[in-house]
Amino acid sequence: MNRQTKQFCETGTEFRGDGAAEINSTRTCLRFPSPYCGHPFFLRLSVGADDAGGDSRGLPSPSAAHCTTRAVIVQPKHFGTDNRCTLDAVMKLGMANARGIAVVHPEASYEELRRLDTGGIRGLRFSVWNPVDTVTTIDMIEPLSKRVNDLGWHVQLHMSGDQIVENAALLERLVCPIVIDHMGRMSPQIGLRHPAFKVICRLMDTGRTWVKLAGAYLNTVSGPPAYADATAIARAFAEAAPERMIWGSDWPHVTEEHKPDDALLFDLLTAWFPDEQARKRVLVDNPAKLYGFV
């Protein structure tokens, strides 16, 4: 057991293995202010376990950690295609409260996909923006999208803006729903002038593509507290298709040596969605539909 895993197991520190970043859940407690506290908010949690990846030890409940009632667990790169820890986390939180996003390769059997579905998995993650540490590849997306479509799953794509443009024809061919992660990772120096913005808007127009508004700190050069460049992108997406937006906390921010302020990131929603009903839509209604809580 490595040092970070040992700390997780002993103190409840939550970390994601693909960078082994860590955060103490007793110190970082994102509180959703009234009137949202108690609504079925969704966030992107990651899970930690022993080196075998078998179970999620010390996993806090969504309500205890973030004042939420529901959560979506995303498979970390550290565990590759071994989804046992993610499944264990969903099981411990309960199917009424949690769903999972898994990682598999095209050779996964139909029986394995059905087993994942029974365990609460509702999508496949493809984090391909960094070729150095990717578990999956772009050429795996289409064959797997065809296989999971019958299960009602989606594919969650963490691609750079340049990759989105280069693979626009592929994305338009996909038969299952799509989630564009991290606002499309368009270069903040280019912002809305990046051609990926128009590609994503075309995909949203089909009615089967969602954009996850998450990771403002990954889409900025201006930085906190306003994240003005990331905010401009988020607002443009929100105005283009509010019914296709979901939000993610991206907690525990495994790529960041200096962790962003979770409360500050949450407060950005007031700039992205000034209207209270619009915030309810992105935080409650849209994800409830996407992840199958309704």
User: Which residues carry out catalysis?
Assistant: 250
| Tokens representing residue 170 in the block | 């592929």
Rg (CA), the chain: 18
Do 81 and 110 contact (CB within 8 A), yes or no? no
What is residue 138's DSSP assignment?
G
Q: Which residues contact 96 (CB under 8 A, 6 or more apart)?
A: none
Short-list 226, 132, 246, 134, CA closest to 181: 246
Do 103 and 53 contact (CB within 8 A), yes or no? no
Angle between helices 228-240 and 195-205 (to 10 degrees): 30
What is residue 176's DSSP assignment?
S
Q: How many CA atoms lie within 13 A of 266 on its CB side?
A: 21
Short-list 188, 268, 180, CA closest to 233: 188
- The greatest distance separating any two alpha carbons of the chain, rounded to the nearest whole angstrom, comes to 48
How far is residue 97's CA from residue 59's CA, in Å, rounded to a whole number? 13
